[in-house]
Amino acid sequence: MEKTPIAVLISGRGSNMIALHEAMRKQSMHAEIACVISSSASAEGLQYARENSMPAISYKPELWRDDQQVTDAILHTFSEYHVQLVVLAGFLKKIPEAVVQAFPNRIVNIHPALLPAFGGKGMYGRHVHQAVLDYGCKVSGATVHFVAVDYDTGPPILQECVPVKADDTAESLAARILQLEHRLLPKCVDLLTRGKVQIEGRTTRVLE
């Protein structure tokens, strides 16, 4: 069976991209990483991509300040590598509306909290986990969701919880949730590329 070409977008270490790539090597998945795009030329994840023979792409910084130019660049890259599914793996830039519209229900993001709680602009990385602790939550977790025009508002596909411990710091909570992310994201990609996710409005159903 032909594998689904995927674009993975990163901004830093790319640990979720690495987890996805390793899952593809260990498991029989109907997907392959066709290209890796970074919002930063210095992102550590680009080096991993190059070392593993994946096209590693970063656009000039000024491109990200022009919505039309970055839209054109992203869509051109997706076309060049025949991308059918887009995975945001720690990607900190906002996806242009035209890109979201060009790939309806074909862009997914992993968020380190249980959406719709602790999502939205500015809610990434340590900021999320500190907000969870400050609010006094007893559980947190991770969400894989379809991407909509606004931050973290697309329909959830997979969610799982982890307990918040009394002595947790933002860093210790982040470490446990990251382990969960590394399992959930490959699972979601596998389900999507096998046609095992149905969506009606805001409701998704996993066919396992």
- Domain residue ranges in the chain: 4-206
Sheet (strand 56-58) strand order = 56-58, 31-38, 4-10, 85-88, 107-111, 139-146, 156-163
Q: What is the CATH number of domain 4-206?
A: 3.40.50.170
**Cα distance between residue 186 and residue 17, in whole Å:** 9
User: Cα 15 to the chain's mean position, in Å?
Assistant: 11
Tell me, yes or no, if 111 is annotated catalytic. yes
Catalytic residue among 21, 111, 129, 182: 111
User: What mean pLDDT is predicted for residues 23-48?
Assistant: 95
Which tens digit of pLDDT belongs to each residue from 150-201?
A: 999 999 999 999 999 999 999 999 999 999 999 999 999 999 999 999 999 8
pLDDT greater than 70 at residue 1: no
pLDDT greater than 90 at residue 15: yes
Q: How confident is the model at residue 59 (pLDDT cuts 50, 70, 90)?
A: very high
